[in-house]
Structure 1
C-alpha cells in the first residue's frame, strides 16, 4: 500500500493544538462540533477549494481531551499549494476559532502518514490533590482528587505496566481492533504548582486506555489499592469494576514521534499489521 498522494497533489503536514473542552472529540460528526470538522472547513474556505478536504490525524482524541502537539496531514492540489503555501498559516489563524490553532504547515517527506508513520504518542494527565481544590486558571486541564496521592506509590505501580501487553482490561473494545500495545514510559512527578503529572508514552493507544490506566493508579496513590493492583488488572484482560475511566479534561496529547524520513514508509506499512503477542495465534 502506497502512502504517496495522488498524482497532482502534495501531502501537507500540519502541527496543531486545541482546547478540547467544547469539542466532541477529533473525528468529524454530522451534528456535533469537532476539531476535524473545524479544520477541514477552514482549509476549504481559505484555499477556496471546490472539493472537500479530508485530514488524517496521528491520534483521534476523545471528547474533552486537549492536544498541544497533535499532527495531521492533508493532500492538496499541487497548484493550490504552490500559490498559497506561504499564506496558509496566517489565513488559518484568521479563520479558525479560538480553541484550535495550527502552528506549522509544510510539505511532508515521501512516505509520510500522520497516523501510520508515527512511532509513539506522548500524553500527560494532570491530577490536583490540594485540599482546597484546583487553581481556577488550571481547572480546565487538571482533575481534582479529594484525597492526597502518593507519587512514589503510583510510580511503583507503573513499573509493572511497561512493555508490550494486551491492554484489553484498560481499553474500550472495538470490533476488529487489537488491544496489544507497547507502553514505553509511564511515570509520575510533581509540577512546580504541586500537580501530580503522569507522562504516558506508547507506540499507540486504544480507546480510553490512558484515562483507565490513570484511574487504576489513583487507587494506588490514595491508598485504596496496593501497588500491584494495576498489574493484576492488566493480567486479567477484562475491565475491572473498581477502575474508573477518569474525566477527559485532565488529558493532553503532548507530542507525536516519527522516525527518520527514509523510514517513514516502512513504519507506515508495519503499523497497519494486526499485532499478536508471542505464543498467541
Structure 2
C-alpha cells in the first residue's frame, strides 16, 4: 500500500521548542458509494462547465478568477498572488498558544480531525517531549494553523505514539441554540416518569465502540448497485408507516422497561388509527344526535 500524502507540513512550536511535523486527514470518505451524472441515452458521463451568469458563454480555465461581492452583482477581483501575500506566521507553523482542560471544549466547535506525526528524524525528541508533557497534564493544546488559505484554531492532544489535532469552528460559525430551543415548552413531568426513563437508560448502558456502527444506508446502496450490475430486478420497498402519537406516556415507559420490542409494539398501537368507515359512522351519529336535540 502506498504511503499517504501529507496534507500539510510545517513546524509544531511550544515556546522555544519546535519540531517539523506533517498532518494527515484522520477521516476519509473514499469507501462511500458515489454516483456520477450520466447521459441516459449513451451511458456516457456528463461533464460540468462554468457558464457566465449574464451572457451564458462557457468560461475557460484561464478566464476564471476570484471575486468578492460588494453588493448585488458587483464584485472586486482578488488575484491569487494577492491572497498569497497575506502571510501570517501560522502559514507554516503550529504555534501552541495555551492548554485547556479537555472537558471545557464544547463539542459543537469540533470540526475536522488530523493525525500529527514527526516529519523526519531530526525532531523526534522534541515531538516526544511535547506529546508526553501533554499526557501528564491531561490538557488539550490550542494552536493556530493555516489550511486551504484559511487560519483555523486547532485543538491538539496525544493519541498513542502521535498527536491528533481537530480544527475548531469559530463562534460566528455556530448558530445560537436559543433560536431553536426557546420555543420548547416545559411541561410538568412526574417524578415517577423520570425514574422510569432513568431505568430504561440504565438497561441500555454500554461502552463507546465504533466498530459496532453499521451504515445501513451505505450497505443498501452497495447491494442495489450489485443487483443492477448483475441484471437483477430491484423491487421498491414500501415505506414503514409512521406510528401515531402515544396517548399514555406512563404506559409506554412501563412497556419499554419490560422489553424493547414489546415496548415498541405497544407504543405503536397505543393510539390505533380508526378506519374511515368508522369515523364516518361516528360523524353521522353525532349529526343525528344534534338534529334530535334541536328538535
Q: TM-score range by the shorter chain?
A: under 0.3
TM, length-normalised to structure 1: 0.26
More helix by share: 2
Higher RCO structure, 1 or 2 (CA under 8 Å, sep 6+): 1
**Looking at CA atoms only, which structure, 1 or 2, has the larger radius of gyration?**
2
TM, length-normalised to structure 2: 0.25
